[in-house]
Structure 1
């Protein structure tokens, strides 16, 4: 198992540390030119402040890395981006890029999505490993089985032993092991968007601002934030799906209720899609859960 120690903006850290009970954070990179590939889901991402504060001050469980328009990153994570609002976030991106700020620009940024973040109080800060080099720009990986990664792992365990919130997430004893990240709403949205290759499962629409990640079984009804409980839908189709005017049967075919015509005396464009097989992710592990689809058919769909 590996950990990545990422150099962290002090303002980003301080703002997020002040927020109670965050489920997820977006550790964003301003250039967006390369996608982060140093970790696999369930490994540890740690925050190191800029020099001269050569300390590890927190971290989170890595869930996903991607590149997003800054508008979608803000819609998905809000203040969990480490900024008070979108204009402030856009201003920081422009400053890091050494560009004049363009208020209309929808910058593409790198996004490292972390679940169950933790932020250490000053007495618990961890000095960087002895082999840390001052010329490191973004960060570096450590193998937690070998030194100095093993010592780093033990220090993280010790620091987290006082954090009840993380007590059940990261093993307090023994060798490091992958931790299944519990996804938040923002990460769910991005994972579903990427799993469906940024196109609507029903209409094939690819205009990203028009697409939503829909829960098949709502979170309030026992559904979970997982790709298999999600569909990427055009926003109007999403609203109809949530209200039961359309559904997807377990065989992955789209169906439109007769109630669309009865209630609105219209719906021609939707009925043209009736019976169509939806587009699903090529990874079979991301396919819609058939039990959740059956639940939607039986509990939500208007007969």
Structure 2
């Protein structure tokens, strides 16, 4: 099994440990290289910077993406590790040379289910990582050199696991069976949060509205096909990327999609709002954009649920 120890800003860690979010943005101020070391569900350790040299917690890798600074705030808000956008902007620009660029693109390592250890449980890493020469972090593989460190991490994690987690299988990023040899590992209990869901759906649809093809990122929303409050999971297959106005119409049953991925527009839009052109041009047409992976395409059971609220 692979895991990664990322050099972690102490103020980022301290802020997020106080609010205990469901997912976080471990941001990269440069925004010029993709993070490819981990697969979804694998652990990303928080290796605190000076004066500490310890593992203070971890999150579980969901995905990596690039976002303009303002969009990173829109998607994650305080889960960027700051209380305000201005504070977040100052943090990013302090690491960049192009300080005149007020909205640079940054890298976003999206981590879900973060766990922040109490100070007494921090794990020293002097024997595993040098105090110098490691700027961003270090990757480990339990089959090579990482087994001893992971054993310490896994033992500490047991203290922080809920005794009876209420997670459904289709919310997992990974399952325990994917990681043989680690007993009752926390890896079984990883699920995707709201911000992680938004990033995954946005990138799965190539940052295009699936109906209109709109590509202006600030007006694109990751919509649930079956709402989360109706037990719809944060899965890509329960998501669809829509322009914000279409998202509202989709949520309220004025727009739906069929099981063969065609668009249905309710006649109620015309009857209630006297709108003939803007939306009816899409009626009966196939979705312009769908995820490349078959497993990520809209799930038939979620489509069926959404059809049940369609206004016809």
Q: Normalization by structure 2: what TM-score?
A: 0.90
Structure 2 partner of 1:275 = 284
Structure 2 partner of 1:294 = 304
Structure 2 partner of 1:253 = 262
Q: Relative to 1, partners in 2 of residues 1:284 and 1:156: Cα closer, same or farther, differing over 3 Å?
A: same
Q: Relative to 1, partners in 2 of residues 1:241 and 1:43: Cα closer, same or farther, differing over 3 Å?
A: same
* Unaligned residue ranges in structure 2 (runs of 5+): 166-171
Structure 2 partner of 1:126 = 123
SS in 1 for 2:305: helix
2:29 counterpart of 1:13: no
Matches within 5 A, 1:232-243: 232-243=241-252
CA contact (8 A) 1:216 1:231 kept: yes
How far residue 131 of structure 1 moved from its aligned partner, in angstroms, is: 4.1
Q: Alpha-carbon deviations, 1:119-145, whole Å to 9, x = none? A: 111111111152422111100101123
CA contact (8 A) 1:27 1:112 kept: yes
Structure 2 partner of 1:69 = 68
CA contact (8 A) 2:128 2:149 kept: no
How far residue 180 of structure 1 moved from its aligned partner, in angstroms, is: 6.6
SS in 2 for 1:268: coil
2:140 to 131, 139, 142: 142
How far residue 77 of structure 1 moved from its aligned partner, in angstroms, is: 1.4
How far residue 96 of structure 1 moved from its aligned partner, in angstroms, is: 0.9
Whole-angstrom CA distance in 1 between matches of 2:160 and 2:209: 41
SS in 1 for 2:211: coil
Q: Relative to 1, partners in 2 of residues 1:227 and 1:8: Cα closer, same or farther, differing over 3 Å?
A: same
2:182 counterpart of 1:175: yes
SS in 2 for 1:161: helix
How far residue 75 of structure 1 moved from its aligned partner, in angstroms, is: 1.5
SS in 2 for 1:200: coil
- The aligned length equals 298
Whole-angstrom CA distance in 2 between matches of 1:273 and 1:209: 22
Structure 2 partner of 1:87 = 86
How far residue 297 of structure 1 moved from its aligned partner, in angstroms, is: 0.8
How far residue 51 of structure 1 moved from its aligned partner, in angstroms, is: 2.6
Structure 2 partner of 1:49 = 48
How far residue 181 of structure 1 moved from its aligned partner, in angstroms, is: 3.4
Whole-angstrom CA distance in 2 between matches of 1:166 and 1:81: 28
* Unaligned residue ranges in structure 1 (runs of 5+): none
Q: Alpha-carbon deviations, 1:148-189, whole Å to 9, x = none? A: x11111111121121134986997x94387547311111111
Structure 1 partner of 2:168 = none
How far residue 198 of structure 1 moved from its aligned partner, in angstroms, is: 0.2
Q: Normalization by structure 1: what TM-score?
A: 0.93
